[in-house]
Amino acid sequence: MTLFKNMRHALLRDTVTKLSMLVVVLWLCVALLPHALPELLPLDIDLPKTRMAPQWNLSEPSGWFGYDSVGTSVFYQVLSGAGVSLSVGLCTVLLSFAIGIPLGALAGSGRRYFDVLITRLMDILLSFPPLVLPIALTALLGGGFLNVVVALTVSGWIGSAKLVRAEFRALDKREFVEAARALGATPRRVMFVHMLPHAASSLLVHASFSLAGVILAEAGLSFLGLGLGDEHPSWGASLSEARAYLLESPHLAIFPSLALLSLVLALNFLAESLRASLDPKAGSA
């Protein structure tokens, strides 16, 4: 209950956090639109509208952000792109946690061989520059939702594993853990029932930062043509297409960039607020 209380406190602490929260909630709602009501965001090709500039006509929202190089509405593309970014982001973070938490717990459980094995594996993966492994994997496996999520998870699980390992090692000699062991709790119960809840707040903060990072990484892969493919509108792919028309049709780059910026910035502000509230060492809550 304390965690949720702290979270509520963190999310309502100042105007910037409230605004960030609003932006994230807004994008989440937008992301659900194409699934709930696909006819609301038609991504039709209309060649006569090729690279038409934005027109602020209230009755025709398709033209608000202008049209791209095949006459598709940039406004609808930006809105549809939110779904791609957030779904890839959330799935990657969840999968990374599903892999990272057990591996981190094993490494931090006090068994040396697990620790050495998992830590060395993490070191090897960390020796690659951040986007290199996902690029290599998507180039090898091809694009598509599952492949992109897998490629981003391969290096994404390390953060949560390191965090859980560090927390478990710190908690290992605490009295409540010793007491649980003395009462006959199995190692698994000690790890997942007694120790893991203490790492929850750190993991929550990490998840918020990770989500922003994964959204940027997905945009990067799509920008390089290694993303979900043409049938899924993506902000990165829109930016890639816009490169050719930066001077003649800047609206093609401006609106997807703003969308990406707003979501990533809002997620980072939220994560920072959560960190400040939930981290006892920060002391500013």
Q: With b meaning 16 or more CB within 10 Å and e meaning fewer, what string describes 229-260?
A: beebbbbbbbbbbbeeeeeebebbbbbbbebb
Minimum CB distance to other proteins smaller for 8 or for 243: 243
Tell me the CB-side half-sphere exposure of residue 189, using CA atoms within 13 A.
Answer: 10
User: Least CB distance from residue 80 to other proteins, whole Å?
Assistant: 15
For position 243 contacting other proteins by CB under 8 A, the verdict is yes
For position 175 contacting other proteins by CB under 8 A, the verdict is no
User: Least CB distance from residue 129 to other proteins, whole Å?
Assistant: 22
245 DSSP 8-state letter: G
For position 279 contacting other proteins by CB under 8 A, the verdict is no
DSSP string across 53-86:
PP---TT-GGGTT-B-TTS-BHHHHHHHHHHHHH
Minimum CB distance to other proteins smaller for 121 or for 139: 139
Binders of other proteins among residues 37 to 76 (CB under 8 A) are 38-39, 44-48, 50, 69-72
Q: How many helices and strands (H and E) does the chain possess?
A: 11, 0
Minimum CB distance to other proteins smaller for 63 or for 156: 63
User: Least CB distance from residue 1 to other proteins, whole Å?
Assistant: 45
Minimum CB distance to other proteins smaller for 62 or for 210: 62
Answer left, alpha or beta for residue 51, where phi above 0 means left and psi between -120 and 50 means alpha.
left
Asked if 83 and 40 count as a contact pair (C-beta separation under 8 A), the reply is no
Binding region for other proteins (CB under 8 A) out of 36-44, 92-100, 144-152, 272-280: 36-44
User: Least CB distance from residue 230 to other proteins, whole Å?
Assistant: 5
For position 220 contacting other proteins by CB under 8 A, the verdict is no
- Counting Cβ atoms within 10 Å, is residue 267 exposed (0-12), middle (13-18) or buried (19+)? buried
Number of residues that bind other proteins (CB under 8 A): 19
**One-letter amino acid identity for 17?**
T
For position 244 contacting other proteins by CB under 8 A, the verdict is yes
Q: How far apart are CA 95 and CA 219, in angstroms?
A: 19
The residue whose two tokens read 């120790």 is: 195
Q: Which of 58, 59, 127, 231 binds other proteins (CB under 8 A)?
A: 231
User: Least CB distance from residue 154 to other proteins, whole Å?
Assistant: 23
Minimum CB distance to other proteins smaller for 9 or for 243: 243
Catalog residues that contact other proteins under the rule CB under 8 A.
38-39, 44-48, 50, 69-72, 225, 229-231, 243-244, 248
